[in-house]
Amino acid sequence: MTISLSDAGKRFNYDWIFRHFTYTFRSGNKYALVGPNGSGKSTLLQAIAGYSWLSEGTLTANDSSGQLIPDDKLFEQVAIAAPYLDVVEEMTLLEFLSFQEKFHPFQAHTDLESICTKLGLHAARHKQIRYFSSGMKQRVKLGQALFAAKPIVLLDEPCTNLDAEGIELYHRLLAELTTNKLLVICSNDEQEIRTCNERIDIRDYK
C-alpha cells in the first residue's frame, strides 16, 4: 500500500497551510508528523486520509497489488483516531464496537469481547460511554482504529488523556496491530512517536 503526494498544498482562503509537499508513504513504515501546535499537522493528516481535498498538487494511492485506488474510495482504506472525532456516548462500549464493526470490520480472529479485554475495559463493556473517564474514551478511540481491518492507520495526538498505564497499552497495541500497516502519527510528544522510523516536519513545507 502506498500513498504519494506530489507538490501538494492546502489553503484556507489566502492562508496556505502547507505547500510543495512531495512524499510517498508505504506500508510497513511508521511516520511521525511533527511541528508546533497550529502548524497544519492535522490538516495534512486529513489530506493523506482523503478526507480533505488538496488546493494544489496531486495525491495517488495504490493497493498492495499496485492497483490505483480512486480518490473517492481512499477513505475506505483508512482507520483514524483523533481528538476532534467523537464516539457515540449514548451507546455502551459493546454497542459502539458492534456499530463500528458494521462500517469498519475488525481484524480477523478478533471478537468484541476480546477487544474490550485488550483495551483494559472489559469490566465497563456494558456501561454507556458517557460515563467513561476521558482516558477510557481515548482507549475506545484508539481501539476502534487500531483493531480495524484497514491497511492505513492515522493517529492524531493518540495519547491525549492517557495515564502511564494507558500509554504503555498504546505502545503494546501498536506493536501487535500495525506491523504491516501504513501508520502516520501527528504529535509533538516524543513518547507518542518514539517507535516511528521516519519523521516529517510540517515547517519544511510552508
Task: Give the pLDDT confidence of 97-130 residue by residue, as tens digits.
Answer: 999 999 889 998 899 999 999 999 999 999 999 9
pTM of the model: 0.94
Task: Give the pLDDT confidence of 140-170 residue by residue, as tens digits.
Answer: 999 999 999 999 999 999 999 999 999 999 9
For the chain, percent of residues with pLDDT exceeding 90: 92
Reading the block at residue 15, the C-alpha cell is 492562508
**Cα 143 from Cα 154, distance rounded (Å):** 12
In degrees to the nearest 10, what's the CA dihedral of 67, 70, 28, 65?
-10
pLDDT at 108: 87
pLDDT average, residue stretch 7-35: 96
pLDDT at 181: 96
Indicate the fold that domain 2-205 takes in CATH. Rossmann fold (3.40.50)
